[in-house]
Structure 1
């Protein structure tokens, strides 16, 4: 199935794309599937090209197919005042029905691992919040890292698949890699700033860790440099770029190690640079050094380095001179390296490390804006840039708004919002924004995500569990969606019935059971249909199927699915017609086992009952003949009178036209034998 062109959506042009091979539907119709582009369509009118001549001539109509499809088919619009006559487009040729749906990247085989494994973390988070409603930051941090590890595992699987895929599939997988990388990058930053708040509000070490994790290029380059020939290492084209990149990531020790491999490392200039970098104060929370003391130390160090720069002690080497100007925060030098940085936030982390090492979290937003201004990217921000900026500004609603637009079908926004809600971050907004409900916001995303999963043939049970954790509207959504899951096989139907009963939705369990019973009946499996009808506790449907059994017996002379009829148990009370069927089966079985007396007793009780179907009277009366003529006396005089009375009542039945006299004769003979036998009794 091909995807329709996403570019056409964005440019408000007609969507084009091929459809899959047609599948035969009911009444000779052909159903064809089409898939909208992966991107969410927000505020854009979408045009879909339907490749069908009849649709073009007659017009089209559409209807919703639960849970996530739209059926489009030819339809001629008629006005109320028009004459009622056959459509000019009516013909004997087959008609195509097109099924449209948004493609869901979460349904890709590799990304389904993301769905399955993250569900376990989600449930753990709900249980944690239920059992420890007060302070559980460390547990939240652990769960957040589990989410990120799942994302990283999916990224690795996608990368492996890309190397083994053909070009067309590889492009699609690369798009997924881009989406997941953005998700993991934003999630990691949210974890640092919103979940794992460090002591003393010193945030820079964690921010540098984030940059190092997502920009490992320079660390890999350094490993490559050290792994090769160390002689004349500075001649390597990546040597100085790697040093600058590591410097901006705060990797001072690695920078010093690389500089020591320079062929001129024994010169006074290189030795001086090494001493300067070695003496550079770096704030470490674990040492317990007071911030004021660190600031004084760093100020003295900056004055000393600036004095050396002013004395032109580093001008003999342009690269060393640039490094020294960078570490003292020289504006002109920093402006010169801006164009070499991949992103503004990579530049931001380095700038803060050398100019504002004690930056507070609430100051990050302002510095981020300055960094964007310096790199002249204000009008070129991508969605990832906007989301990161919102996180640095601690604008949670803007963060949610940005990640909600990501084309991951709601996985990211639902899980991150849920995590922020349980961490208490969203609750703080309730004091700032009137009529804002963190609980409702969290539930809306989880609800939408659960509904998305309900549209998948094997992920619907996970979707149900997400809806279970939506206290306001979850159960209502389940009531609407659960009965609309396609009943592909009986195993799936049993799962649906089980899930409905687990949630006390017995009416849904009964309706689904009845639907499966109808399917089995249409396939000629009456026994199986009866089993589902009994589960549905639908009396009229059970009676209807019992009639089917009886009419089948009239045609063939045998009772189908006798094993089910033998084990009805208390289910036999579901309807009067089923009671009759069960008793007739019991009569039939006793007769086959040559227990004629027992069979006669049941037959007599049936004839005297009021539950015999009209069409079955002839069968019962004809079944009395061999018992009346048997060598063993099985009917008493009273039983015989009952039979004769029934014959008199039903003698006008067409089926008994040629048999009435035979029954009367057999009854008369049996009556004489019965009277003689009973007369001899004490």
Structure 2
């Protein structure tokens, strides 16, 4: 996956060779990033205008292009990304656990074994993906998912597989084997990932009566010996028993047991025994060379070729002659990797991993890796012990690879851990954030995107915060389900908002969580879902926001009347009890919320014609000092029908006197110039033109109270 350094827009905004004309016309290209993902809009605007300000652009008909640095992952690719993120999370948890333990534990076999196991888990995931793609292609299937063909071929995942496997071989061997000879493991890696000679060639040659007459015979046999494929080597050496040259037969009869008995480290209990066996085996190879050199020149040919030269190359490999190995590899079309691995097997069988870079530098000086092949370049960097360079090539291959490989490199102290002076990012954070940017191309992957970002230092955490703040909450979808709505009211936050909250708690981003809840509350206010809006304001401890919700609910009374107001206000009633139990709540906001609920209950009782209870609630609103002064006048006006209720007297004389006192307070304060504090709401409810009209309305309350007192005296209730 190459790094995108430029984008080609089709059709182009500016044709080739016309960029100067664009500048002369006073225009330029501009781009603005999307807040939802890593895409951006590209457009033409007048030079000097701020990005995105196109109001004064010369040509408003210019198209706008939406482009992205990465293709959005397909469903199959997304599955691979999410599966491997589980391994990443496990590694991060291990590192956190290690930070809480004794320093020596990080050097223990237990710790190392888990690190290696997680690296192998990545290898297994990549291997399975490669096999799935390869099997589907080889079976002739179209290998399609819901969105069409797979984004990445089987060869892409094969490259990831070979690279990860090589890293494990070179840098994460079994515990205690870091100082052991590496030849056998390298040869196993080479034979697993770069199969030569092919099985088809061997099958074909085995069907021939005289296979040495075929031009593919000696290259096949030489490659088999070079790769340590003893079974294939012994089989075709055995075929030479039928060769017409008796001298060749005699030499191969000596060569067969040598190849069969070549010492392998795994066969010995100690390296000392292995070294001793190597010396004895090498002496036998030298003896074979003496025997070969004794063959007269005229006997070194058969009817087709110089068999002696071919066999001499094989013996030269066994002798560990570096020049012969390099020449043979060049003749066979092999690359630097095969030379290096063969060097470790035949030239220096006791070579350690730490010694490999010196050999690699000699080999690639004459057989350089392919600079156009990121996989080959990465392998060369890993062989050479150049971890930072390997990461660079890995990022070109696939940001997934560099984003996960860098953790192990940092753990093994293969790369610098200090931040860059200019950017402040460490090499580890640079590659992890580059991978997280790729994930951000798919907004649906926000959960794992922030996991990677939060594993980084300050810059990564800040970027993760910004992503969480912009996650679409889809509150409309959640609230369409009555059961979900009831769960939210009960305090059980569900859906996307629940996931965001969970992430904030996990990474201790309390400020982000509160901001997200505030955003949710604002969205719900726009939808007039005031009950849920209050719940989210409480969760965010956004008391000013709570006050704004209360103001919106009260505005419903002013604009829509008591019926709608009651419906909305009673929806927030469950929150009053919750607020009462919190010591951090600012009292003024609770006070206003209590008024809304009590006032809504009052109107509900009026609608149900439960006038006695309504009267009691109205008095309680004033006595408890619940009503804001701006609402006194409105509440007093609501008392008129209760004061005029003909069936019975609903207020005691003391209660009626209290109402009269509140009424007189309004008249007095209005006369003193504070009318706006007491009459503003009533003016809006009446759609009055002035405070004078509101005071005229209040005079009807005074008249209703006068009639009420008169009725009380007539009915003998004046002493109450």
What's the TM-score, normalizing by structure 1? 0.77
Instruction: Say whether the 8 Å CA contact 2:163–2:379 is kept in structure 1.
Output: yes
Pick from 385, 392, 396 the counterpart of residue 406 of structure 1: 396
State the shift of 1:208 in Å: 0.4
Instruction: Say whether the 8 Å CA contact 1:467–1:475 is kept in structure 2.
Output: yes
Change (3 A) 1:617 1:471: same
Change (3 A) 1:240 1:296: closer
Change (3 A) 1:570 1:108: same
Which residue of 1 is the match for residue 130 of structure 2? Answer: 155
Which residue of 2 is the match for residue 138 of structure 1? Answer: 113
Which residue of 1 is the match for residue 673 of structure 2? Answer: none
The answer to whether residue 430 in structure 2 is matched with residue 417 in structure 1 is no
Change (3 A) 1:336 1:455: closer
Which residue of 1 is the match for residue 262 of structure 2? Answer: 282
Instruction: Say whether the 8 Å CA contact 2:28–2:46 is kept in structure 1.
Output: yes
Which residue of 1 is the match for residue 579 of structure 2? Answer: 571
Matches of 2:47 and 2:128 in 1, distance apart?
A: 53
Instruction: Say whether the 8 Å CA contact 1:15–1:48 is kept in structure 2.
Output: no
State the shift of 1:306 in Å: 1.4
Which residue of 2 is the match for residue 253 of structure 1? Answer: 231
Q: Spell out the pairing of 1:157-176 with structure 2 (5 A cutoff).
A: 157-159=132-134, 163-164=141-142, 173-174=152-153
Which residue of 1 is the match for residue 340 of structure 2? Answer: 348
Change (3 A) 1:562 1:406: same
The answer to whether residue 551 in structure 2 is matched with residue 560 in structure 1 is no
Secondary structure of residue in 2 paired with 1:62: strand
Matches of 1:145 and 1:48 in 2, distance apart?
A: 52
State the shift of 1:188 in Å: 1.8
Which residue of 2 is the match for residue 15 of structure 1? Answer: 8
Matches of 2:712 and 2:217 in 1, distance apart?
A: 118
Matches of 1:238 and 1:402 in 2, distance apart?
A: 36
State the shift of 1:100 in Å: 3.5
Which residue of 1 is the match for residue 165 of structure 2? Answer: 188
Q: How many residue pairs get matched?
A: 628
Q: Spell out the pairing of 1:306-345 with structure 2 (5 A cutoff).
A: 306-312=289-295, 315-316=301-302, 318=305, 321=308, 322-329=310-317, 331=323, 335=327, 337-345=329-337
Unaligned runs of 5+ in 2: 99-104, 479-494, 581-586, 671-678, 687-692
Q: Spell out the pairing of 1:47-446 with structure 2 (5 A cutoff).
A: 58-66=27-35, 68-77=38-47, 87=56, 89=58, 97-103=64-70, 107-129=73-95, 130-131=97-98, 132-136=105-109, 137-159=112-134, 163-164=141-142, 173-174=152-153, 177-196=154-173, 198=177, 201-218=180-197, 220-221=199-200, 224=203, 241-260=219-238, 264=242, 268=246, 269-270=248-249, 272-280=251-259, 281-285=261-265, 286-287=267-268, 288=270, 290-312=273-295, 315-316=301-302, 318=305, 321=308, 322-329=310-317, 331=323, 335=327, 337-375=329-367, 377=368, 382-403=373-394, 405-409=395-399, 411-426=400-415, 440-446=426-432
State the shift of 1:635 in Å: 1.1
Change (3 A) 1:79 1:446: closer
Q: Deviations over 1:523-563 (max 9, x none)?
A: 44444434333433333332333233233344253333466
Instruction: Say whether the 8 Å CA contact 1:110–1:157 is kept in structure 2.
Output: no
Matches of 2:222 and 2:440 in 1, distance apart?
A: 50
Matches of 1:339 and 1:383 in 2, distance apart?
A: 24
Matches of 2:214 and 2:612 in 1, distance apart?
A: 106
Matches of 1:630 and 1:407 in 2, distance apart?
A: 88
Q: Deviations over 1:52-106 (max 9, x none)?
A: x9x99854433344453434444334599xxxxx847387x7x85544331057x
Secondary structure of residue in 1 paired with 2:516: helix
State the shift of 1:314 in Å: 6.0
Instruction: Say whether the 8 Å CA contact 2:653–2:719 is kept in structure 1.
Output: no
Which residue of 1 is the match for residue 676 of structure 2? Answer: none
Matches of 2:169 and 2:64 in 1, distance apart?
A: 51
Instruction: Say whether the 8 Å CA contact 1:111–1:154 is kept in structure 2.
Output: no
Matches of 2:701 and 2:420 in 1, distance apart?
A: 88
Matches of 2:610 and 2:425 in 1, distance apart?
A: 70
